[in-house]
Amino acid sequence: MAPVDPFEKAADCERSLHKSQEPERRLVLSKLRDLWIDIGNQRSVMNDEELASDIERLGHIQCELTRFRSN
């Protein structure tokens, strides 16, 4: 499995944000984008385990929030 690039995930959120007209969804996407950017900025001071854990945790949160918003 290819490693997850936090900045690419942030870019995905940004693209989705621009496509959305729903204010609540836009807010969720902007917060997720900011969190992905934070992880990307901090990865140079994190060990591989910490980085993987944060990426996995935020990925799960994003799945839950976007699934919730699409229902």
Per-residue pLDDT of 12-67, as tens digits, reads: 999 999 999 999 999 999 999 999 999 999 999 999 999 999 999 999 999 998 77
Residue ranges of domains in the chain: 6-70
State the burial class of residue 11 (Cβ atoms within 10 Å of its Cβ: 0-12, 13-18, 19+): middle
Q: Residue 10 carries which side chain, given as an amino acid letter?
A: A
Output the pTM of the full model. 0.86
Q: Residue 16 is inside which H or E element, if any?
A: helix 6-19
Locus of tokens 């936090």: 6
DSSP string, 25-46: HHHHHHHHHHHHHHHHHHGGGS
